[in-house]
Every structure is written in structure tokens, then in C-alpha cells.
Amino acid sequence: MLNLRQINKEACDMRYEAPSSIDQAVALLASASGEARVLAGGTDLLVQIKTDLVEPTLLVDIKGIAELREIGEEAGAFRIGAAVTGAELKENPRLKAVWPGVVEAANLIGSTQIQGRATMGGNLCNASPAADSVPALIAAGAKVAIVGPGGRREAPVEDIVIGPRRLSLTKGEIVASFLLPAKAPRTADAYLRFIPRTEMDIAVVGCGVCLTLDGQGTCTAARVALGAVAERPLMVAAAGAALVGSKVDGAALATLDAAARAACRPIDDKRGTKEFRVEVAGVLARRAAQIALERARKG
Amino acid sequence: MAKHHVTATVNGDAVEFLCETDETLLDVLRNQLGLTGTKEGCATGDCGACSVTVDGCLVCSCLMLGVEANGKSIATIEGMAHGEELHPLQRKFLEHAALQCGVCTPGFLVAAKALLEKKPDPSETEVRYWLAGNLCRCTGYDKIVRAVLDAAAEMRGA
């Protein structure tokens, strides 16, 4: 049985800080001499500490920072704090109605118990290629607000993860919130993942689609993102382009399918072979596009 | 490194304890507060045996640090019965023989109670999804699900 105290002898040197402002959190992380980690929900981090995958000397708990815990809506755009839990997302009817794909993706992570703690900020910054919420956020055109020693900046979600366990953030930078843009009329998103069971598993492939229709039902914009088929979640511009100008009919879906498959550069692992992942990526892209289409038609 | 001084509420009682950063809430409950009803199964958040609620939210206590409990209200299996009087879920688990070895049972009960507080009339599917993070390796899930549905019906006065 894993016991933190027996296995990780150095762990008792781990410092814990719970700042109440982002600036304090940034200062702590920026001045850390050893390995420092942001603690949000902890559902990945604590397991990694227990198994000695990481051995931080400083944990900065960001859950005491009010603005990281809030969901705000302004002029149709949403700002979701990086430390908002999956359970809190689920209980926000307005967000669920406007961005069902994003909320569904975040709610696919782990069990009810995990949802009580897990956050989208953590899901992104854990930097797993298979993170469920990330393709949905990329498809939605979400940006992250980053705070660091140099001030605040924004970046598209697809620019944050650069490889397994690797982020484009610099020392001291924290993902503070996600910004979901105001949606054009008849815009809707969807996220699907494949796992060999119905719950409690990690994506073999995940696919987020967000598309916009004009008044005649022609697609005027589309974004498609894939998870678990490369070293990081992928924004697949060609897959989105396959839908634009079409009625999202059979021919367009076939082009989408091919573009999604072409973007994959997966590995073989216990969850699936390369060939299987490539095939499933095309299938999920079609199905997610069809769900997004139905939703967009409803307004 | 100095230990953290934590004050919290556990099953309605004010408690305080000292803990190292690396001690989980589960460690604190079991080893310091003597509340051994909460079990350690996997210690990685997969099995749900360590389920508790924190400010009403269902979590795995193995994936939360003791120091994070500061100022929080924790509910464990020990707070479920009123003295000798079992909670309807506990009674229905006995009636339906929804346990064998019992290691998963506190986690199932705490998780099921959290469900029924949120949703007094869940469907079987909702019960199964809600409890997907609670693993049982001996009884099987049918008896557990039936016990939860039966308790829900009783609690609704149906």
C-alpha cells in the first residue's frame, strides 16, 4: 500500500503555502529554490508525489485565491477560474447551456469524488496528452489568462502544453483563468472520448468540435481539437476547415474524418494501438461534429 | 519543518490537530483523530474507500492534504448513525446484504448519502454513475445499488 510518509522520505521537507492573492502565489513560485508546484485539486499532483514522480519542496495551494474560484459572465463571455472544480462547473446551469462540450469534457475526468476536487487548471497544467477538458477548451477557442513575475498575459489554450508533463509557462507563472469567448449565434460545441468502459478511465482518443452555422445552415467557422493522439493535445486546423462552407453533410464529414486521421501521430500503449487511435479519431470527429451541428441548429 | 496547526469540524465537532505537509486528510482521520471507519484502499483516488465529504462535497480523503482541511467541515462514516440508530442507508445495506468484507462499505455509504442529499429520487443509472468511483471486489454492485434505491425510497416516504 502506498504510504506517503514511508515512501517519500524527503516529503516532510515539503513546504505548504496557501496565499490569498495571485501576486503572493507568483512571488512564492518565482522565488522558490527547489521544485515548486501549484496545488489546485491535487488529484494528479498528490498521486505523483506519493509515487515519487515529482518531489517538490514547495506546494502553493491556490484554492484560497478568490478570483481563481469564480465563474464570471460578461457580455456573453465566460471567465472560469483555474481552481473551479468539475462539480462546480456542473452546477452552473448557464455555463452548461452555453458551453455544453466544455462542461461535459471536464465532467468526464475521474469519479464523483475526483470531480469534487479536480480543476480545469490542473487538467491543463498536468500536461497529459489525454486530458479530457483540453481539446474541448481548444475547440471552444478558449484562452488562458496567465499571471507571472512579468505581469499578466493571455495565450490560446493550445499553446500551453508542449509535450508530456511539459508546459510553455515560465518560472513563477500561474494559469489564473480560462476565457471562453462570446459565441456567435448558432454556435455550439461538443466533446467525445473513447474509453473501453463507460466511466473512470483515461481517453484513448478525445475530440472537441465547435462550429458556427449561418441562417441557411451553412458552416461558417469550425474548430476541431484532438487528445491522446500526439505528444500534446492538438488543434487541427485542417479538420475545422473541412466543415467550413458546407452544410456539415456526408461529404464534409468524410473530409473532416480524413483530416482528423491525418493529424494523428499517436503511440502504441496499453490503451490502444496507433492504428486504432487514428481510426477512432476520425470516427469521434464525425460524431462530435454531428452533436455540435444539432446543438447549433437549436440556436 | 514545523507542523501545521489545523482547526476543522469533523462530524459536527470542533477538532484541532498538528500535521506535516505530506500527511493526507485520510492519515489524519485515521492516525490522529482515531476515526478508522474511513478506509485506505488504493491511496490514489481510484477506489473511493476513503470517501468523506468536505463542506458537503464528496472527495477522496487520500487525495487531500490534512492541512487543506483547515477551516473546513468534514463528514465521515462515524457521523452517519445517530447513536444506536442507523442511517436508512446503513440499515438497507444490512437488509440487502450489500457488503461482505466491508472495506469498501464506509466509502459507499458516505458517497450514497451525498447522492441522496443532492438527488432524493435517483434512477438506477444515476446511482451507478455516481458510485462509479467506489470499487467493491466481493459483493458485486447489484445489491449495493438496490440497497441505495430502497433507502432512497424509504427516505422519500415512498
pLDDT, tens digit, 9 for 90 and up, residues A225-256: 999 999 999 999 999 999 999 999 999 999 99
Question: Which residue in A48, A91, A109, A111 has the most chain B C-beta atoms within 10 A of its own C-beta, making it the best mutation to test that interface?
Answer: A111
Q: Give span(s): CATH 3.30.465.10, chain A.
A: 69-180
- pLDDT at residue A5 in the model: 52
- pLDDT at residue A11 in the model: 47
B49 and B101 within one domain: no
**CA pair distance B87, B148, nearest whole angstrom:** 12
Whether B51 contacts B63, CB under 8 Å: no
Confidence of residue B158 (pLDDT cuts 50, 70, 90): low
**Cβ within 8 Å, pair A111-B54:** no
Domain A69-180, CATH: 3.30.465.10
- Residue A231 DSSP symbol: S
For A82, residues 6+ apart whose C-beta sits below 8 A from its C-beta are: A40, A62, A68, A119, A120, A121, A122, A124, A144, A174, A175, A176, A177, A178
Q: Which residue from A8, A110, A114 is facing B22, i.e. has the nearest CB? A: A8
Last residue of a domain, one of B79, B110, B142: B79
Which three three-digit cell numbers place residue B60? 477522496
Confidence of residue B139 (pLDDT cuts 50, 70, 90): confident
Q: How many CB pairs under 8 A join A and B?
A: 109
Which three three-digit cell numbers place residue B138? 466481493
Q: Which residue from A14, A41, A117 is facing B22, i.e. has the nearest CB? A: A14
Last residue of a domain, one of B42, B60, B79: B79
- pLDDT at residue B140 in the model: 84
A189-294, CATH topology level: Enolase-like; domain 1 (3.30.390)
- pLDDT at residue B2 in the model: 83
Which three three-digit cell numbers place residue A66? 478568490
Q: Which residue from A8, A47, A59 is facing B45, i.e. has the nearest CB? A: A47
B39 and B60 within one domain: yes
Last residue of a domain, one of B79, B112, B142: B79
Q: Give span(s): CATH 3.30.390.50, chain A.
A: 189-294
Which three three-digit cell numbers place residue A33? 529554490
Mean pLDDT of chain B: 97
Q: Give span(s): CATH 3.30.43.10, chain A.
A: 4-61
Residue B46's domain comprises: 4-79
pLDDT (average), residues A197-202: 87
pLDDT (average), residues A208-223: 98
For A220, residues 6+ apart whose C-beta sits below 8 A from its C-beta are: A184, A212, A213, A214, A244
B130 and B68 within one domain: no
B70 and B119 within one domain: no
Give A61 to chain B, closest Cα distance, Å. 8
A4-61, CATH topology level: 3.30.43
Check which CATH number belongs to the domain holding B101 and give it: 1.10.150.120
pLDDT above 80 for A3: no
Count of domains observed in chain B:
2
Question: Which residue in B5, B28, B60, B116 has the most chain A C-beta atoms within 10 A of its own C-beta, making it the best mutation to test that interface?
Answer: B60
pLDDT above 80 for A290: yes
pLDDT (average), residues B101-109: 97
In this prediction, the answer to ipTM > 0.85 reads yes
pLDDT above 90 for A176: yes
**CA pair distance B77, B80, nearest whole angstrom:** 5
pTM summary value: 0.95
